[in-house]
Structure 1
């Protein structure tokens, strides 16, 4: 099997594993709804008749094949005489929906809001770990680099034109890099140093900034070199927040993982990449090499 096929296989396996958190959350909600029907002494046909639905809808929701809407849950609880359960079940639904968000849904109100919504997570996290395969992580970006990245995203998939406000929100979020007792560990694949949506001048400024951040005492910057016999091919961008949550950036959306076993899988993956990276003077040499290539 070629390296390209191996890489696709590795990524597909990780995505499949990650998506199990979403399926488990959906199944747990379906189980609770099914228990309400049983406790009420009803069956699926009875519930369907009370709600005015086709029995197949009840079956799909009960088996987690279809995600219920908030109104579905209200009607389900009313039919089962369990309206006191409505609030908790809707909260569970919202948590489940938050596990997987398409970019269209996440960014439907614009890029600024999607930037601001992550701020509480950043503020409560004390140990950040980031792996990047296509662009530098937001906490390390200059103003111009951020503007160029977000403007490209806006042009591709966002109808709201709020790039300037989104850039300001990301710059504000970068305050966590210099405030509080936090530790940051960044891993980037070497091509990231050359990948750019910016001009050569903006990219040079970005690399200079990267050099200055890399010497901060609470920051570890590792670069995974291209020219080596790899033990693991690149995967999707991901962030680890403490040991509590992982966020994964996929082509189609944004995945949040909190299951301990899946968080551990990404922690282990991070350690593998960390063992392949170079640090300190060797990492800075690769940054200088990327700068020189701009000429």
Structure 2
């Protein structure tokens, strides 16, 4: 993990600590007194200026009488130490999806150009709340983890605020299958496709669709996300890959270029989305 992304993850952990304190109705001084710490330590941890220990996080949860969040906090801390490429979902999601979503909020906030490819589902950055809710519920059930769905959906929607930041640009490419694969009820999918249709042509947001019959220079083996030129994230079934090496980033950029050149944009993209939307008519 780069220094920037380490700090991003540490700030996400600090933000979660602050939120828990506020929910408990305590100010920093009161919490410090309960913990037997200096107030400055509470401040540093909340502001992402100091890395907590596991014992610090256990003490924080205990002082707030929230033993239910201890695993979540430990999972966020484990993420800070993941310098390796392979980042286990089991460790990252120890306390549910919320913590990983908060890291996504910070990561998106520190990036000016995001490129994303998805092969079979709608990207989180442009999901509707209901679509996101169904997807996160399903993932929690699949992984057998705590379904912190409402908090995770709230964080995912907050992350989408970045779409309206004039300093940022986004380029999404979806395989046409993502318009038809339904992890959700028909009405939820219809609303999601309506949102995609309306995103086509928006300022600073490019949305391309690779049609079923497109000729490809390289097939899309899996989805991936490129953050500026510093980080590529690949979501696998059991883990995420966080790739920061120059060779890895360059290779994924080449894959991105080859795939995005097969995508359709503008009027044709709208037509493809509209066709998928029309296919839902009459389904229950």
The secondary structure found in structure 2 opposite 1:118 is helix
Per-residue deviation at 1:95? Answer: 4.6
| Maintained 8 Å contact 2:117/2:174 | yes
Per-residue deviation at 1:107? Answer: 0.7
Residue equivalent to 1:241:
227
Residue equivalent to 1:215:
201
Residue equivalent to 2:114:
128
CA distance in 2, matches of 1:96, 1:125: 19
Aligned residue runs from structure 1 range 27-42, under 5 A:
none
| Maintained 8 Å contact 1:108/1:158 | no
1:274 is aligned to 2:263: no
1:179 is aligned to 2:165: yes
Aligned residues: 205
Residue equivalent to 1:291:
277
Residue segments in structure 2 that go unaligned for 5+ positions in a row: 2-79
Larger radius of gyration: 1
Residue equivalent to 1:262:
248
TM norm structure 1: 0.67
| Maintained 8 Å contact 1:246/1:266 | yes
The secondary structure found in structure 2 opposite 1:115 is helix
Query: Please, which of 146, 151, 168 is the counterpart of residue 137 of structure 2?
Result: 151
1:104 is aligned to 2:90: yes
The secondary structure found in structure 1 opposite 2:192 is helix
Per-residue deviation at 1:269? Answer: 0.2
The secondary structure found in structure 2 opposite 1:135 is coil
Residue equivalent to 1:115:
101
Residue equivalent to 1:50:
none
CA distance in 2, matches of 1:169, 1:290: 28
TM norm structure 2: 0.69
CA RMSD of aligned residues (A): 1.9
CA distance in 1, matches of 2:237, 2:148: 22
| Maintained 8 Å contact 1:110/1:158 | no
| Maintained 8 Å contact 2:226/2:232 | yes
Residue segments in structure 1 that go unaligned for 5+ positions in a row: 1-20, 22-92
| Maintained 8 Å contact 2:166/2:204 | no
| Maintained 8 Å contact 1:104/1:158 | no
| Maintained 8 Å contact 1:107/1:113 | yes
Query: Please, which of 188, 210, 215 is the counterpart of residue 224 of structure 1?
Result: 210
The secondary structure found in structure 1 opposite 2:261 is helix
Per-residue deviation at 1:161? Answer: 2.5
Query: Please, which of 177, 181, 204 is the counterpart of residue 191 of structure 1?
Result: 177
